Structure 1
Amino acid sequence: MISNKRNHNDQTMEKTSSHKTTRHPLKQMTPQQAFHAGKHGKADIHMHSTYSDGCATIQQILDHVQNNTTLDVIAITDHDVIEGALRARDFWSKGSYRFDFIVGEEVTTKEGHLLGLFIEKSVPSGLSMERSIDLIHEQGGMAVIAHPLHRLFRHSCQREVMDRIHAAKDVWFDGIETWNASFCGIYANRVAMRTNREIYHLPELGNSDAHALNSIGSGMTWFEGKNAVDLRKTVEAGLTAAGGKLWDVQDYFQWMRHRVSKQGREARKTRSEVQVA
Protein backbone atom coordinates (compact mmCIF):
# COMPACT_ATOMS: atom_id res chain seq x y z
CA MET A 1 0.00 0.00 0.00
CA ILE A 2 1.71 3.18 -1.17
CA SER A 3 0.18 6.36 0.16
CA ASN A 4 0.96 10.05 -0.10
CA LYS A 5 3.72 10.64 2.42
CA ARG A 6 3.56 14.42 2.11
CA ASN A 7 -0.10 14.51 3.18
CA HIS A 8 0.61 12.02 5.97
CA ASN A 9 3.49 14.07 7.37
CA ASP A 10 1.76 17.42 6.96
CA GLN A 11 -1.26 16.22 8.94
CA THR A 12 0.90 14.83 11.72
CA MET A 13 3.00 17.98 11.94
CA GLU A 14 -0.09 20.18 12.15
CA LYS A 15 -1.49 18.12 15.01
CA THR A 16 1.80 17.96 16.91
CA SER A 17 2.90 21.55 16.42
CA SER A 18 1.34 22.62 19.71
CA HIS A 19 3.13 19.76 21.46
CA LYS A 20 6.49 20.94 20.18
CA THR A 21 6.10 24.26 21.97
CA THR A 22 4.91 22.81 25.28
CA ARG A 23 7.16 19.77 25.71
CA HIS A 24 10.64 20.02 27.12
CA PRO A 25 12.97 18.60 24.44
CA LEU A 26 14.50 16.08 26.85
CA LYS A 27 11.58 15.01 29.04
CA GLN A 28 8.89 12.37 28.71
CA MET A 29 5.36 13.10 29.84
CA THR A 30 4.47 12.14 33.41
CA PRO A 31 1.37 10.04 34.21
CA GLN A 32 -0.24 13.08 35.83
CA GLN A 33 0.40 15.25 32.77
CA ALA A 34 -0.94 12.54 30.47
CA PHE A 35 -4.12 12.18 32.52
CA HIS A 36 -4.79 15.93 32.60
CA ALA A 37 -4.18 16.07 28.83
CA GLY A 38 -6.98 13.53 28.27
CA LYS A 39 -4.65 10.62 27.51
CA HIS A 40 -6.22 8.05 29.80
CA GLY A 41 -5.30 4.92 27.84
CA LYS A 42 -2.05 3.06 28.56
CA ALA A 43 -0.34 0.80 26.03
CA ASP A 44 2.83 -1.28 25.95
CA ILE A 45 3.26 -2.55 22.41
CA HIS A 46 6.82 -3.90 22.39
CA MET A 47 7.52 -7.08 24.38
CA HIS A 48 8.93 -10.56 23.85
CA SER A 49 7.86 -14.11 24.69
CA THR A 50 9.57 -17.49 24.55
CA TYR A 51 8.83 -17.50 20.82
CA SER A 52 11.92 -15.31 20.57
CA ASP A 53 14.22 -14.35 23.45
CA GLY A 54 11.73 -13.56 26.22
CA CYS A 55 11.44 -15.43 29.54
CA ALA A 56 7.65 -15.81 29.66
CA THR A 57 5.22 -17.92 27.70
CA ILE A 58 2.26 -16.41 25.87
CA GLN A 59 -0.15 -17.48 28.59
CA GLN A 60 2.06 -16.11 31.34
CA ILE A 61 2.21 -12.74 29.59
CA LEU A 62 -1.57 -12.53 29.16
CA ASP A 63 -2.18 -13.51 32.80
CA HIS A 64 0.44 -11.07 34.09
CA VAL A 65 -1.00 -8.15 32.13
CA GLN A 66 -4.49 -9.03 33.34
CA ASN A 67 -3.64 -9.42 37.01
CA ASN A 68 -0.61 -7.23 37.65
CA THR A 69 -0.85 -4.19 35.37
CA THR A 70 -3.33 -1.47 34.44
CA LEU A 71 -2.46 -1.58 30.75
CA ASP A 72 -5.32 -1.14 28.27
CA VAL A 73 -3.53 -2.38 25.14
CA ILE A 74 -0.54 -4.65 24.54
CA ALA A 75 1.28 -6.13 21.56
CA ILE A 76 3.63 -9.09 21.51
CA THR A 77 6.48 -8.34 19.10
CA ASP A 78 8.86 -11.27 18.98
CA HIS A 79 11.98 -11.05 16.88
CA ASP A 80 11.34 -12.02 13.24
CA VAL A 81 8.46 -14.36 14.06
CA ILE A 82 4.72 -13.75 14.31
CA GLU A 83 3.43 -17.16 15.40
CA GLY A 84 3.53 -16.31 19.10
CA ALA A 85 1.52 -13.13 18.61
CA LEU A 86 -1.06 -14.95 16.49
CA ARG A 87 -1.36 -17.67 19.12
CA ALA A 88 -1.67 -15.02 21.84
CA ARG A 89 -4.54 -13.42 19.94
CA ASP A 90 -6.32 -16.77 19.82
CA PHE A 91 -5.93 -17.19 23.60
CA TRP A 92 -6.98 -13.57 24.16
CA SER A 93 -10.07 -13.86 21.94
CA LYS A 94 -11.28 -16.93 23.86
CA GLY A 95 -10.74 -15.35 27.27
CA SER A 96 -12.35 -12.49 29.13
CA TYR A 97 -9.39 -10.16 29.30
CA ARG A 98 -9.99 -6.51 30.16
CA PHE A 99 -7.23 -5.27 27.81
CA ASP A 100 -7.02 -5.16 24.01
CA PHE A 101 -4.43 -7.02 21.95
CA ILE A 102 -2.41 -6.19 18.81
CA VAL A 103 -0.48 -8.67 16.68
CA GLY A 104 3.06 -7.46 16.04
CA GLU A 105 6.62 -8.38 15.18
CA GLU A 106 10.03 -6.83 15.74
CA VAL A 107 11.65 -7.01 12.32
CA THR A 108 15.42 -7.16 11.93
CA THR A 109 16.17 -5.00 8.90
CA LYS A 110 19.61 -4.42 7.44
CA GLU A 111 19.67 -1.07 9.22
CA GLY A 112 18.00 -1.57 12.57
CA HIS A 113 14.98 -3.00 14.33
CA LEU A 114 11.50 -2.01 13.22
CA LEU A 115 8.16 -2.74 14.89
CA GLY A 116 5.38 -3.97 12.64
CA LEU A 117 1.99 -3.53 14.34
CA PHE A 118 -1.52 -4.50 13.23
CA ILE A 119 -0.10 -7.10 10.85
CA GLU A 120 -1.10 -10.65 9.92
CA LYS A 121 1.97 -11.96 8.08
CA SER A 122 5.60 -12.07 9.15
CA VAL A 123 8.00 -9.63 7.50
CA PRO A 124 11.26 -11.41 6.56
CA SER A 125 14.46 -10.31 8.26
CA GLY A 126 17.46 -8.90 6.43
CA LEU A 127 15.64 -6.56 4.06
CA SER A 128 16.24 -2.86 3.60
CA MET A 129 14.43 -0.47 5.91
CA GLU A 130 12.34 0.80 2.99
CA ARG A 131 11.26 -2.67 1.86
CA SER A 132 10.41 -3.72 5.42
CA ILE A 133 8.26 -0.61 5.89
CA ASP A 134 6.48 -1.26 2.59
CA LEU A 135 5.68 -4.87 3.57
CA ILE A 136 4.14 -3.63 6.81
CA HIS A 137 2.11 -0.91 5.07
CA GLU A 138 0.93 -3.34 2.38
CA GLN A 139 -0.79 -5.28 5.18
CA GLY A 140 -2.42 -2.14 6.53
CA GLY A 141 -0.01 -2.16 9.45
CA MET A 142 2.00 0.52 11.20
CA ALA A 143 5.79 0.78 11.07
CA VAL A 144 7.38 2.13 14.25
CA ILE A 145 11.10 2.62 14.59
CA ALA A 146 12.36 0.80 17.69
CA HIS A 147 15.01 2.14 20.12
CA PRO A 148 16.72 4.41 17.58
CA LEU A 149 19.96 6.40 17.76
CA HIS A 150 21.89 4.19 20.18
CA ARG A 151 25.50 4.47 19.02
CA LEU A 152 26.64 1.13 20.43
CA PHE A 153 23.68 -1.16 19.71
CA ARG A 154 24.00 -2.67 16.26
CA HIS A 155 20.23 -3.11 15.86
CA SER A 156 19.49 0.56 16.55
CA CYS A 157 18.60 2.65 13.51
CA GLN A 158 20.96 5.59 13.02
CA ARG A 159 20.56 9.17 11.79
CA GLU A 160 21.57 8.55 8.19
CA VAL A 161 18.80 5.97 7.79
CA MET A 162 16.20 8.11 9.52
CA ASP A 163 17.22 11.10 7.42
CA ARG A 164 16.85 9.03 4.26
CA ILE A 165 13.35 7.86 5.20
CA HIS A 166 12.42 11.38 6.29
CA ALA A 167 13.46 12.76 2.88
CA ALA A 168 11.70 10.04 0.86
CA LYS A 169 8.39 10.77 -0.85
CA ASP A 170 6.78 7.32 -0.77
CA VAL A 171 7.92 5.63 2.46
CA TRP A 172 7.60 6.72 6.08
CA PHE A 173 7.69 5.74 9.72
CA ASP A 174 4.32 5.87 11.49
CA GLY A 175 5.93 6.49 14.86
CA ILE A 176 9.12 6.39 16.87
CA GLU A 177 10.03 4.99 20.27
CA THR A 178 11.27 7.93 22.28
CA TRP A 179 11.08 5.88 25.46
CA ASN A 180 12.45 2.33 25.54
CA ALA A 181 12.74 0.90 29.06
CA SER A 182 15.53 -1.57 28.26
CA PHE A 183 19.29 -1.03 28.08
CA CYS A 184 18.67 0.32 24.57
CA GLY A 185 17.17 3.47 26.05
CA ILE A 186 19.58 4.22 28.90
CA TYR A 187 21.03 7.23 27.12
CA ALA A 188 19.42 6.97 23.67
CA ASN A 189 15.92 7.91 24.90
CA ARG A 190 17.02 11.50 25.47
CA VAL A 191 18.73 11.59 22.09
CA ALA A 192 15.64 10.18 20.34
CA MET A 193 13.30 12.65 22.07
CA ARG A 194 15.41 15.67 21.26
CA THR A 195 16.12 14.64 17.66
CA ASN A 196 12.52 13.74 16.92
CA ARG A 197 11.14 16.96 18.40
CA GLU A 198 13.65 19.08 16.53
CA ILE A 199 13.69 17.29 13.15
CA TYR A 200 11.28 14.44 12.43
CA HIS A 201 8.11 15.31 14.39
CA LEU A 202 6.92 11.70 14.38
CA PRO A 203 4.28 10.43 16.82
CA GLU A 204 6.05 9.34 20.00
CA LEU A 205 5.62 5.93 21.64
CA GLY A 206 6.94 4.50 24.87
CA ASN A 207 7.40 0.76 25.38
CA SER A 208 8.97 -1.67 27.81
CA ASP A 209 10.74 -3.92 25.28
CA ALA A 210 10.11 -6.45 28.06
CA HIS A 211 11.94 -9.77 28.07
CA ALA A 212 10.77 -10.63 31.61
CA LEU A 213 7.30 -10.39 33.12
CA ASN A 214 8.11 -7.71 35.68
CA SER A 215 9.37 -5.39 32.94
CA ILE A 216 5.99 -5.24 31.21
CA GLY A 217 4.52 -1.77 31.55
CA SER A 218 7.81 -0.16 32.60
CA GLY A 219 7.60 1.86 29.41
CA MET A 220 4.26 2.90 27.99
CA THR A 221 2.36 5.01 25.52
CA TRP A 222 -0.45 7.23 26.77
CA PHE A 223 -3.28 7.74 24.32
CA GLU A 224 -6.82 9.02 24.04
CA GLY A 225 -9.32 6.20 24.51
CA LYS A 226 -9.04 2.67 25.85
CA ASN A 227 -8.66 0.14 23.01
CA ALA A 228 -6.43 -0.69 20.06
CA VAL A 229 -8.55 1.28 17.60
CA ASP A 230 -8.29 4.35 19.84
CA LEU A 231 -4.55 3.85 20.15
CA ARG A 232 -4.09 3.72 16.40
CA LYS A 233 -6.20 6.85 15.90
CA THR A 234 -4.17 8.70 18.52
CA VAL A 235 -0.90 7.65 16.88
CA GLU A 236 -2.18 8.72 13.46
CA ALA A 237 -3.22 12.07 14.92
CA GLY A 238 0.24 12.57 16.44
CA LEU A 239 -1.22 12.90 19.94
CA THR A 240 0.42 10.03 21.83
CA ALA A 241 2.86 10.58 24.69
CA ALA A 242 5.74 8.37 25.79
CA GLY A 243 7.20 7.73 29.21
CA GLY A 244 7.92 5.32 32.02
CA LYS A 245 10.94 4.01 33.86
CA LEU A 246 13.89 1.79 33.00
CA TRP A 247 14.08 -1.93 33.77
CA ASP A 248 14.94 -2.92 37.31
CA VAL A 249 18.21 -4.77 37.94
CA GLN A 250 16.27 -7.93 38.78
CA ASP A 251 14.73 -7.89 35.31
CA TYR A 252 18.19 -8.17 33.76
CA PHE A 253 19.13 -11.01 36.13
CA GLN A 254 15.95 -12.91 35.33
CA TRP A 255 16.47 -12.54 31.61
CA MET A 256 20.11 -13.63 31.76
CA ARG A 257 19.31 -16.63 33.98
CA HIS A 258 16.70 -17.66 31.43
CA ARG A 259 19.12 -17.38 28.55
CA VAL A 260 21.69 -19.67 30.17
CA SER A 261 19.21 -22.11 31.68
CA LYS A 262 17.93 -25.36 30.24
CA GLN A 263 14.53 -23.73 29.79
CA GLY A 264 16.12 -20.94 27.81
CA ARG A 265 18.04 -23.36 25.59
CA GLU A 266 14.88 -25.34 24.91
CA ALA A 267 12.96 -22.15 24.12
CA ARG A 268 15.63 -21.08 21.64
CA LYS A 269 15.55 -24.53 20.04
CA THR A 270 11.77 -24.31 19.72
CA ARG A 271 12.09 -20.83 18.21
CA SER A 272 14.55 -22.11 15.61
CA GLU A 273 12.20 -24.96 14.70
CA VAL A 274 9.30 -22.53 14.31
CA GLN A 275 11.33 -20.25 12.04
CA VAL A 276 12.44 -23.16 9.86
CA ALA A 277 8.96 -24.70 9.59
Structure 2
Amino acid sequence: MDDETVGRPGSGDTSSVAGVGRADIHLHTNLGDGWISPARLVQIATDRQLAVIAVTDHDHVEGARRVEELLARRDSPVQMITGVEVSTRQGHLLGLFVERAPRPLRPVEESIDAIKEQGGLVVVPHPLGTLVPSLSRRKIDALLTAGYEIDGIEIYNPSPANASRRDAVRAANEEWGLAEIGASDAHFWQHVGAGYTRFAGSTPDDLRRAILDRTGRAGGQEHRPARLNPAAYVAQCAWSWFVDPPRRMIRRHRASRSEHQVRRG
Protein backbone atom coordinates (compact mmCIF):
# COMPACT_ATOMS: atom_id res chain seq x y z
CA MET A 1 0.00 0.00 0.00
CA ASP A 2 1.93 3.01 -1.23
CA ASP A 3 1.15 6.54 -0.04
CA GLU A 4 0.10 7.54 -3.54
CA THR A 5 -2.73 4.98 -3.56
CA VAL A 6 -4.70 6.76 -0.87
CA GLY A 7 -6.75 9.85 -1.63
CA ARG A 8 -5.88 13.16 -0.06
CA PRO A 9 -7.59 13.65 3.31
CA GLY A 10 -10.34 16.20 3.02
CA SER A 11 -10.55 15.97 -0.76
CA GLY A 12 -13.48 13.58 -0.73
CA ASP A 13 -11.39 10.85 -2.38
CA THR A 14 -11.21 7.36 -0.92
CA SER A 15 -8.51 4.75 -1.15
CA SER A 16 -8.13 3.37 -4.65
CA VAL A 17 -7.09 0.02 -3.15
CA ALA A 18 -10.07 -2.22 -2.48
CA GLY A 19 -10.45 -3.17 1.14
CA VAL A 20 -8.08 -0.54 2.55
CA GLY A 21 -9.44 1.73 5.27
CA ARG A 22 -8.11 4.96 6.77
CA ALA A 23 -8.22 5.60 10.52
CA ASP A 24 -7.41 8.78 12.42
CA ILE A 25 -6.93 7.63 16.00
CA HIS A 26 -5.62 10.76 17.74
CA LEU A 27 -8.30 13.47 17.85
CA HIS A 28 -9.27 16.13 20.40
CA THR A 29 -12.66 17.79 20.98
CA ASN A 30 -13.67 20.98 22.75
CA LEU A 31 -14.66 18.88 25.73
CA GLY A 32 -10.90 18.65 26.11
CA ASP A 33 -8.23 21.03 24.83
CA GLY A 34 -9.34 20.93 21.20
CA TRP A 35 -11.43 23.44 19.26
CA ILE A 36 -13.57 20.85 17.48
CA SER A 37 -17.13 20.30 18.68
CA PRO A 38 -18.26 16.66 18.72
CA ALA A 39 -20.87 17.46 16.06
CA ARG A 40 -18.29 19.10 13.79
CA LEU A 41 -15.95 16.17 14.25
CA VAL A 42 -18.65 13.74 13.17
CA GLN A 43 -19.40 15.88 10.11
CA ILE A 44 -15.76 16.22 9.03
CA ALA A 45 -14.87 12.57 9.63
CA THR A 46 -17.89 11.55 7.57
CA ASP A 47 -17.17 14.02 4.77
CA ARG A 48 -13.53 12.91 4.61
CA GLN A 49 -14.60 9.29 4.47
CA LEU A 50 -12.54 8.03 7.36
CA ALA A 51 -13.41 4.45 8.21
CA VAL A 52 -12.46 4.63 11.88
CA ILE A 53 -11.72 7.43 14.34
CA ALA A 54 -10.62 7.53 17.98
CA VAL A 55 -11.35 10.50 20.22
CA THR A 56 -8.45 10.86 22.64
CA ASP A 57 -9.07 13.85 24.89
CA HIS A 58 -6.66 14.25 27.79
CA ASP A 59 -7.48 12.10 30.83
CA HIS A 60 -11.21 11.59 30.21
CA VAL A 61 -13.57 9.87 27.77
CA GLU A 62 -16.48 12.34 27.80
CA GLY A 63 -15.67 13.61 24.32
CA ALA A 64 -15.47 10.06 23.01
CA ARG A 65 -18.84 9.19 24.52
CA ARG A 66 -20.46 12.27 22.99
CA VAL A 67 -19.05 11.56 19.53
CA GLU A 68 -20.18 7.94 19.78
CA GLU A 69 -23.73 9.08 20.55
CA LEU A 70 -23.76 11.47 17.61
CA LEU A 71 -22.41 8.87 15.20
CA ALA A 72 -25.15 6.45 16.19
CA ARG A 73 -27.83 9.13 15.85
CA ARG A 74 -26.58 10.19 12.43
CA ASP A 75 -26.18 6.61 11.23
CA SER A 76 -22.75 7.57 9.89
CA PRO A 77 -20.52 4.96 8.22
CA VAL A 78 -17.65 6.17 10.41
CA GLN A 79 -16.93 3.79 13.27
CA MET A 80 -15.37 4.86 16.54
CA ILE A 81 -12.89 3.65 19.11
CA THR A 82 -13.02 5.04 22.63
CA GLY A 83 -9.59 6.39 23.43
CA VAL A 84 -7.77 8.65 25.85
CA GLU A 85 -4.50 10.56 25.94
CA VAL A 86 -3.10 9.87 29.39
CA SER A 87 -0.89 12.42 31.15
CA THR A 88 1.82 10.31 32.78
CA ARG A 89 4.80 11.57 34.75
CA GLN A 90 7.13 10.76 31.86
CA GLY A 91 5.00 11.96 28.94
CA HIS A 92 1.73 11.41 27.12
CA LEU A 93 0.38 7.98 26.24
CA LEU A 94 -2.57 6.91 24.07
CA GLY A 95 -4.93 4.21 25.24
CA LEU A 96 -7.23 2.75 22.58
CA PHE A 97 -10.22 0.43 23.04
CA VAL A 98 -10.68 1.54 26.65
CA GLU A 99 -13.77 1.98 28.81
CA ARG A 100 -12.40 4.55 31.23
CA ALA A 101 -9.48 6.92 31.56
CA PRO A 102 -6.58 5.84 33.78
CA ARG A 103 -5.76 8.21 36.61
CA PRO A 104 -3.37 10.91 35.38
CA LEU A 105 0.05 11.90 36.67
CA ARG A 106 1.15 8.39 37.56
CA PRO A 107 4.32 6.65 36.36
CA VAL A 108 3.98 5.58 32.74
CA GLU A 109 4.38 1.95 33.79
CA GLU A 110 1.21 2.15 35.89
CA SER A 111 -0.65 3.84 33.03
CA ILE A 112 0.33 1.06 30.63
CA ASP A 113 -0.92 -1.53 33.12
CA ALA A 114 -4.20 0.39 33.55
CA ILE A 115 -4.79 0.40 29.79
CA LYS A 116 -3.90 -3.26 29.40
CA GLU A 117 -6.19 -4.28 32.28
CA GLN A 118 -9.08 -2.99 30.16
CA GLY A 119 -7.98 -4.94 27.12
CA GLY A 120 -6.75 -1.74 25.49
CA LEU A 121 -3.88 -1.03 23.14
CA VAL A 122 -0.99 1.29 24.01
CA VAL A 123 0.35 3.79 21.46
CA VAL A 124 3.10 6.35 22.03
CA PRO A 125 2.05 9.75 20.61
CA HIS A 126 4.53 12.34 19.29
CA PRO A 127 7.48 10.25 20.54
CA LEU A 128 10.76 11.98 21.36
CA GLY A 129 8.96 15.32 21.10
CA THR A 130 10.12 18.43 22.94
CA LEU A 131 7.20 20.85 22.60
CA VAL A 132 4.76 18.74 24.61
CA PRO A 133 5.34 16.05 27.27
CA SER A 134 6.57 13.05 25.30
CA LEU A 135 8.31 9.78 26.04
CA SER A 136 12.03 9.89 25.32
CA ARG A 137 13.93 7.24 23.42
CA ARG A 138 15.67 6.23 26.65
CA LYS A 139 12.32 5.72 28.38
CA ILE A 140 10.82 3.74 25.51
CA ASP A 141 13.93 1.54 25.41
CA ALA A 142 13.65 0.97 29.16
CA LEU A 143 9.96 0.09 28.96
CA LEU A 144 10.48 -2.44 26.19
CA THR A 145 13.51 -3.95 27.93
CA ALA A 146 11.45 -4.34 31.11
CA GLY A 147 8.73 -6.18 29.18
CA TYR A 148 6.05 -3.48 29.09
CA GLU A 149 3.81 -3.99 26.10
CA ILE A 150 3.68 -1.04 23.71
CA ASP A 151 1.60 -1.79 20.63
CA GLY A 152 2.25 1.14 18.32
CA ILE A 153 4.10 4.39 17.84
CA GLU A 154 3.20 7.50 15.89
CA ILE A 155 5.46 7.46 12.86
CA TYR A 156 3.58 10.36 11.30
CA ASN A 157 1.96 13.13 13.35
CA PRO A 158 1.74 16.41 11.41
CA SER A 159 1.76 18.61 14.51
CA PRO A 160 4.88 20.65 15.36
CA ALA A 161 5.40 18.34 18.35
CA ASN A 162 6.40 15.55 15.99
CA ALA A 163 7.83 17.12 12.85
CA SER A 164 11.41 17.71 13.98
CA ARG A 165 11.78 14.17 15.40
CA ARG A 166 10.15 12.20 12.59
CA ASP A 167 13.33 10.78 11.03
CA ALA A 168 14.71 9.83 14.44
CA VAL A 169 11.47 8.03 15.32
CA ARG A 170 11.50 6.06 12.07
CA ALA A 171 15.11 5.03 12.65
CA ALA A 172 14.40 3.99 16.23
CA ASN A 173 11.37 1.94 15.22
CA GLU A 174 13.54 -0.16 12.95
CA GLU A 175 14.86 -1.56 16.23
CA TRP A 176 11.62 -1.46 18.21
CA GLY A 177 9.40 -3.03 15.55
CA LEU A 178 6.24 -1.37 16.86
CA ALA A 179 3.12 -0.90 14.76
CA GLU A 180 3.33 2.16 12.51
CA ILE A 181 0.67 4.71 13.38
CA GLY A 182 -0.27 7.79 11.44
CA ALA A 183 -2.64 10.21 13.18
CA SER A 184 -3.52 13.88 12.97
CA ASP A 185 -3.46 14.89 16.66
CA ALA A 186 -6.08 17.34 15.40
CA HIS A 187 -7.20 20.16 17.68
CA PHE A 188 -8.85 22.02 14.77
CA TRP A 189 -11.40 20.61 12.34
CA GLN A 190 -9.21 21.56 9.38
CA HIS A 191 -6.62 18.98 10.45
CA VAL A 192 -8.89 15.97 10.92
CA GLY A 193 -7.48 13.21 8.72
CA ALA A 194 -4.22 15.06 8.02
CA GLY A 195 -2.47 12.00 9.42
CA TYR A 196 -3.96 8.52 9.30
CA THR A 197 -3.25 4.81 9.55
CA ARG A 198 -3.99 2.64 6.53
CA PHE A 199 -5.17 -0.88 7.29
CA ALA A 200 -6.81 -3.84 5.62
CA GLY A 201 -10.54 -3.70 6.28
CA SER A 202 -12.89 -1.03 7.56
CA THR A 203 -13.83 -1.77 11.17
CA PRO A 204 -12.30 -1.15 14.59
CA ASP A 205 -11.63 -4.89 14.88
CA ASP A 206 -9.80 -4.81 11.54
CA LEU A 207 -7.71 -1.89 12.76
CA ARG A 208 -6.94 -3.61 16.05
CA ARG A 209 -5.78 -6.68 14.15
CA ALA A 210 -3.59 -4.56 11.88
CA ILE A 211 -1.94 -2.91 14.89
CA LEU A 212 -1.30 -6.22 16.63
CA ASP A 213 -0.04 -7.84 13.42
CA ARG A 214 2.09 -4.77 12.52
CA THR A 215 0.49 -4.59 9.07
CA GLY A 216 -0.85 -1.00 9.17
CA ARG A 217 1.03 1.88 7.57
CA ALA A 218 1.27 5.55 8.47
CA GLY A 219 -0.12 7.95 5.88
CA GLY A 220 -0.60 11.66 5.42
CA GLN A 221 2.96 12.82 4.89
CA GLU A 222 2.36 13.05 1.15
CA HIS A 223 0.29 16.23 1.70
CA ARG A 224 1.01 19.31 3.78
CA PRO A 225 -1.65 19.90 6.46
CA ALA A 226 -3.77 23.02 6.28
CA ARG A 227 -2.09 26.18 7.55
CA LEU A 228 -4.12 28.27 9.98
CA ASN A 229 -3.77 31.84 11.17
CA PRO A 230 -1.14 31.93 13.96
CA ALA A 231 -3.73 33.59 16.19
CA ALA A 232 -5.75 30.36 16.13
CA TYR A 233 -2.83 28.41 17.55
CA VAL A 234 -2.25 31.02 20.24
CA ALA A 235 -5.90 30.92 21.24
CA GLN A 236 -5.93 27.12 21.36
CA CYS A 237 -2.78 27.09 23.51
CA ALA A 238 -4.43 29.51 25.91
CA TRP A 239 -7.48 27.21 26.02
CA SER A 240 -5.19 24.25 26.70
CA TRP A 241 -3.29 26.03 29.48
CA PHE A 242 -6.00 27.99 31.27
CA VAL A 243 -9.42 26.47 30.50
CA ASP A 244 -8.95 22.73 30.16
CA PRO A 245 -6.80 22.05 33.27
CA PRO A 246 -9.41 23.34 35.75
CA ARG A 247 -12.07 21.24 34.02
CA ARG A 248 -9.85 18.18 34.36
CA MET A 249 -9.42 18.87 38.07
CA ILE A 250 -13.20 19.09 38.49
CA ARG A 251 -13.65 15.80 36.64
CA ARG A 252 -11.04 14.08 38.83
CA HIS A 253 -12.69 15.44 41.98
CA ARG A 254 -16.11 14.17 40.89
CA ALA A 255 -14.68 10.77 39.94
CA SER A 256 -12.87 10.48 43.27
CA ARG A 257 -16.02 11.43 45.17
CA SER A 258 -18.07 8.86 43.23
CA GLU A 259 -15.52 6.14 43.95
CA HIS A 260 -15.58 7.03 47.64
CA GLN A 261 -19.38 6.86 47.73
CA VAL A 262 -19.34 3.46 46.00
CA ARG A 263 -16.86 2.13 48.55
CA ARG A 264 -18.96 3.45 51.43
CA GLY A 265 -22.12 1.98 49.92
TM-score by length of 1: 0.80
Give the alignment partner of residue 72 of structure 1, picking from 46, 51, 55: 51
Partner of 1:242: 218
Partner of 1:47: 27
What is the distance in 2 between the residues matched to 1:122 and 1:113?
Answer: 13
Partner of 1:167: 145
Partner of 1:59: 39
For the 8 Å contact 2:151–2:212, the answer to whether it is kept is: yes
- Return closer, same or farther for 1:92/1:173 CA change in 2, 3 Å cut-off: same
What is the distance in 1 between the residues matched to 2:229 and 2:173?
Answer: 28
Partner of 1:190: 167
For the 8 Å contact 2:60–2:100, the answer to whether it is kept is: no
What is the distance in 2 between the residues matched to 1:102 and 1:42?
Answer: 13
C-alpha displacement of 1:168: 1.7
Q: Alignment partner of 1:43: what SS?
A: strand
What is the distance in 1 between the residues matched to 2:159 and 2:41?
Answer: 17
Structure 2: which 5+ residue stretches go unaligned?
Answer: 8-14, 255-265
For the 8 Å contact 1:212–1:251, the answer to whether it is kept is: no
Give 1:57's aligned amino acid: S
Q: How many residues are aligned here?
A: 245
What is the distance in 1 between the residues matched to 2:225 and 2:231?
Answer: 11
Aligned identity (percent) is: 31
Q: Which has the higher contact order (CA 8 A, sep 6+)?
A: 1
RMSD of the TM alignment (CA)? 2.6
- Which runs of 4 or more aligned residues in structure 1 lie more than 3 Å from their structure 2 counterparts after TM superposition? 33-39, 257-261, 264-276
Give the alignment partner of residue 117 of structure 1, picking from 96, 105, 130: 96
Q: Alignment partner of 1:114: what SS?
A: strand
C-alpha displacement of 1:266: 6.4
TM-score by length of 2: 0.84
Task: Establish whether residue 131 from structure 1 lines up as the match of residue 110 from structure 2.
Answer: yes
Structure 1: which 5+ residue stretches go unaligned?
Answer: 1-27
- 1:212-251 aligned at under 5 Å gives the runs 212-245=188-221, 246-250=224-228
